[in-house]
Amino acid sequence: MTLRLDDGGGLLGRAREHFDWLLFITVATLAVIGVINLYSATSVARGAHAEDYIQQIYWLVGGGILATVAAVIDYRHYERLGYAVYAVGVVLLLLVFILGREIRGSSRWIYIGSYSFQPSEFMKLFLVIALAKYLHDDPKSEGRTLKDLAVPAVIAAVPTALVMLQPDLGTGLILVLVFLSICALTRVQTRSLIWLGVVGLILAPVFWSYGLRGYQNERINAWLNPNVNVLGFNWDPHQARIAVGNGGWFGQGFMRGSQNQFMFLHEQHSDFPFPVFAEEWGFAGSLLLVGLYGLLVLWCLRVASMAKDRFGAVLAVGVGSIIFWHAVFNLGMATGLLPIVGVTLPLFSYGGSSVMTVLLGVGLVMNVSMRRFYASPSRTTQRLGL
């Protein structure tokens, strides 16, 4: 390898001394709890999903290796490849339409042999990298105008549109929210913000009428009337809420949640792992879990704030926002605060693409975190100049 990865001293050099233990421990704890919970959640599903937790461990190990690689290589290399990675993601999304098979009315997977993966999951990360690259190359000293945000908007809009066409409302929503989160990082002119608000307000009813499929409207209606149609569209949120409430202060105990054990929860391995956890561990356990997600998100922001360049900062904020929005939406729909949109709970929901995306993202944050102490040439100069 001719490329020098670091400024001396082995593969990581001084970066190794700055390993982010807190980030690692938080994520590892979440992953372990997630697998244990998945074991309980799928214990009732004899046959179909009974072995999911073992498969999940494989995904975690694979994701861990990817994350290690992602953390070791200095992230500034990714910056150069930013748009290429994005382009690959978009091409994969296009391939879904050609290669994907329809399941329950939407095609989201690409099959390679007996394995399948969901490009839309990885696209979240690729979008973050592409936006980081753009903002990295486009420094602005004054507030940005709408014109300045046009290119990032297009970068976000292309994969969002493709995902919505699958259709996958949840992922599309996450992509939009990630984009908005990153925009929130930049300084935008007040006038532009007002314009955005007005346009948003005008587009919302249009989107409600034309942008959503029938079942999606139904879900929102169900959310607005939580006690109606509890045998139909409201079954899942209703039973999830009962499961959460049934947890009480300290929970029913591991593998002893009746809502899960007697199969009142559906999709407990994908959309609703949290009610299983909340029923078994109660408010105490839930508080710990929510605390871990909060810590992870806030830590990502801290890493971003200490990043030495714009790419690293946007990367850390982007990954943090992916985790944040996933957690908030999933916990929100499990507790009845938000309508049902198919959004996974990071490291809790079963799924290779999802797990790998999250771990890969965490690897990038680790990367940024480990390299926060690099003296930037300008700073060095300043210091020398003292």
The residue within the footprint of other proteins, chosen from 38, 41, 331, 365 (CB under 8 A), is 331
- Nearest approach in angstroms of CB 266 to other proteins is 8
> Considering only residues 248-277, where is the footprint of other proteins by CB under 8 A?
248-249, 258-259, 262-264
Distance in angstroms (rounded) separating the CA atoms of residues 348 and 367: 23
Check the CA dihedral 34-124-330-301 and report its sign.
positive
Which residue number, 124 or 241, has a Cβ lying nearer to other proteins? 241
Sole window of 32-40, 88-96, 158-166, 303-311 interacting with other proteins (rule: CB under 8 A):
303-311
The one segment of 202-210, 289-297, 340-348, 353-361 that binds other proteins by CB under 8 A:
289-297
| Alpha-carbon gap, residue 343 to 38, rounded angstroms | 16
**Candidate list 3, 112, 206, 224; residue touching other proteins; CB under 8 A:** 3
What part of residues 72-111 is at the interface with other proteins (CB under 8 A)?
A: 74, 76, 80, 101, 103-104, 109, 111
Tokens for 206? 């249009």
**Residues of span 113-172 touching other proteins by CB under 8 A:** 116, 136-137, 139-141
Separation in Å, CA 1 to CA 4, 5, 67, 177, 276: 8, 9, 21, 39, 48
Q: Cα separations (Å) of 10 from 20, 49, 372? A: 18, 44, 18
Quick check: 343 and 173 in contact, CB under 8 A? yes
**CB 188, min distance to other proteins, A:** 10
Residue 268: what are its φ and ψ, rounded to 5°? -75, -10
| Interacting span for other proteins (CB under 8 A) from 3-11, 17-25, 121-129, 159-167 | 3-11
How many residues form the binding site for other proteins (CB under 8 A)?
Answer: 73
Given 152, 247, 342, 361, the residue binding other proteins (CB under 8 A): 247
Taking CA 344 as the corner, what is the angle to CA 327 and CA 332, rounded to the nearest 5 degrees?
45
Amino acid at 67: A
**Strands in the chain per DSSP E:** 110-112, 115-117
In whole angstroms, the minimum distance from the beta carbon of 298 to other proteins comes to 6
Q: Does 213 bind other proteins (CB under 8 A)?
A: no
Q: How far apart are the first and last CA of the chain?
A: 38
Quote the least distance from Cβ 317 to other proteins, whole Å: 7
Enumerate residues 214-233 that contact other proteins by CB under 8 A: none
Cα separation, 119 vs 357, in Å, equals 10
Find the part of the chain contacting other proteins (CB under 8 A) among 57-65, 81-89, 221-229, 374-382.
Answer: 374-382
| 170 three-state secondary structure | helix
- 211: which DSSP letter? I
